Amino acid sequence: CCFTEEDEKKETGGMERPSQVLDMSLLAALLEGYCSDRSLPKIEKEHFVPFMRLALLCNCSWRFVKFNGVDAPDDVPVEAKQSFLQLLERIIYLHDPEAIKQINKLLNDGQTF
């Protein structure tokens, strides 16, 4: 929900795709709304990025199995079959030290988080 596409293109799985980048202002708005009733405890802040990766991995796996698994219909469009790659890119992005630093800064500087 908080990722946007950059103009830069990347080759992924034989398909050129826009790069995925986390929009910190969208993430801040999401966290502000989420934390309006309850602030994030320290332990949740410390594990926020790994939790983001895990949530993306669950969705990535679901998309892959749903559209590429043995029970997938034969007429699944290529875009659907390769839709897991977008989420994979986001997982890879969340391993970037600079991205982690920005997310942690947002979490630790956020007055309501």
DSSP letters for 40-61: PPHHHHHTHHHHHHHHHHHHHH
Whether the predicted pLDDT of 18 surpasses 80: no
Question: Taking residues 7-27, what's their average pLDDT?
Answer: 71
What percent of the chain has pLDDT above 70?
87
The Cα–Cα gap between 68 and 73 comes to 9
For residue 4, which phi and psi values (nearest 5 degrees)? Answer: -125, 165
Per-residue confidence at 10, pLDDT binned at 50, 70, 90?
low
Per-residue confidence at 5, pLDDT binned at 50, 70, 90?
confident
Six-digit token string for 84: 């897991």
Going from the C-alpha of 27 to that of each of 59, 60, 103, the distances in angstroms are 18, 20, 9
Cα atoms in the Cβ-side hemisphere of radius 13 Å centred on 86:
16
pLDDT at 77: 96
CA 66 to chain centroid, in Å, comes to 19
